[in-house]
Amino acid sequence: MSISIKTPEEIKKMRVAGKLAAEVLEMIEDKVIPGVSTGELDRICHEYIVNRQKAIPAPLNYKGFPKSICTSVNQVVCHGIPSDKKILKSGDIINIDITVIKDGYHGDTSKMFFVGNITPHAQRLVKVTQECLYMGIALVKPGTYLGDIGHVIQNYAQNHHYSVVREYCGHGIGSNFHEDPQVLHYGRPKTGVQLKPGMIFTIEPMINAGKRHVKLSSRDGWTVETTDKRLSAQWEHTILVTETGHEILTRRGEEHGL
Ligand code: MF3
Ligand code: CO
Ligand code: CO
């Protein structure tokens, strides 16, 4: 296992890729409404990434994934495949996960969207999951252990009586979509890899309202759902470790406070 330290030239390219990925999420916001299909959202993002950004949607054909983005609705934890048959309705929560490749480097980010009117229960899950991501990010600086990050996320989720998905994790990222290290969203303080300037990785907690257990669809080989069919939420950013702290490469305009 080896964790790459990015050169200044690579960091420049990762900044560009990260910004493009963030801009796709900003672009799609007002299209996420009742009546739209996830297939249509995929087409809009694909067209934007390819024709406007002159970039490549990394999921398309990645290990056989058939579409350009992931759309994970309600009890779907991650890797939902966009479909013209999946029509969003008021009350749905959806994660849209965007990864673009620009000039050979990847930017990977996802956020939750509310479709129409959402129950307070679902709103709270989405908010706590975003706070889990932000609490993890706040710890990113040289010397921090990955176990410290996993620990705060797990603690915060469990204090709200939610559970942390263990089968999927954050990851190093660069010229590869997924690199070392694995970034677990649970763990113990002062364990695992210690962060160094120039490392770049994602943090992308998947938090379940009910039990942590998940099931991979045998029908499509991709869609991951909660076993108990209760809701799941996820937020993701790509983060650079700097000399003094961190830089969120996929920060959106709405996150000016970060
Ligand atoms: N974007 C996902 C991640 O955060 C990976 C999606 S892989 C795909 O790591 F094949 F489903 F697109
Ligand atoms: Co990722
Ligand atoms: Co992603």
Calculate mean pLDDT across residues 43-64. 99
Mean pLDDT of the chain: 98
Task: Decide whether any atom of ligand 1 lies within 6 Å of the 52 Cβ.
Answer: no
Task: Decide whether any atom of ligand 1 lies within 6 Å of the 99 Cβ.
Answer: yes
Ligand 1 atom with the smallest distance to the CA of 222 is 11
pLDDT of residue 146: 99
CA of 167 from ligand 1 middle (Å) equals 13
Task: Decide whether any atom of ligand 1 lies within 6 Å of the 59 Cβ.
Answer: yes
Task: Decide whether any atom of ligand 1 lies within 6 Å of the 7 Cβ.
Answer: no
- Residue 1: is its pLDDT beyond 80? no
Is 120 exposed, middle or buried (CB count within 10 Å of its CB: 0-12, 13-18, 19+)? exposed
Q: Percentage of the chain surpassing pLDDT 90?
A: 99
Q: Which helix (H) or strand (E) element contains residue 124?
A: helix 120-138
What secondary structure letter does DSSP report for 127?
A: H
Q: Which helix (H) or strand (E) element contains residue 19?
A: helix 8-28
Instruction: Quick: pLDDT tens for 176-200.
Output: 999 999 999 999 999 999 999 999 9
Calculate mean pLDDT across residues 45-73. 99
Task: Decide whether any atom of ligand 1 lies within 6 Å of the 204 Cβ.
Answer: yes
CA of 89 from ligand 2 middle (Å) equals 26
- Ligand 2 (ion): residues with CB under 5 Å are 108, 202
Q: Rounded CA gap, 33 and 64, in Å? A: 29
pLDDT of residue 123: 98
Task: Decide whether any atom of ligand 1 lies within 6 Å of the 79 Cβ.
Answer: yes
Calculate mean pLDDT across residues 93-119. 99
- Residue 81: is its pLDDT beyond 80? yes
Q: Percentage of the chain surpassing pLDDT 70?
A: 100
- Residue 148: is its pLDDT beyond 90? yes
Task: Decide whether any atom of ligand 1 lies within 6 Å of the 42 Cβ.
Answer: no
pLDDT of residue 46: 99
Calculate mean pLDDT across residues 109-137. 98
- Tokens found for residue 230: 């209760």
Q: Whose CA is nearest to atom 4 of ligand 1?
A: 108
Longest dimension (CA), the chain: 48
Per-residue confidence band for 215, with pLDDT thresholds at 50, 70 and 90: very high
Ligand 1 atom with the smallest distance to the CA of 64 is 10
pLDDT of residue 50: 99
pLDDT of residue 174: 98
SS3 content of the chain, % helix, strand, coil (to 5): 30, 25, 45
pLDDT of residue 30: 98
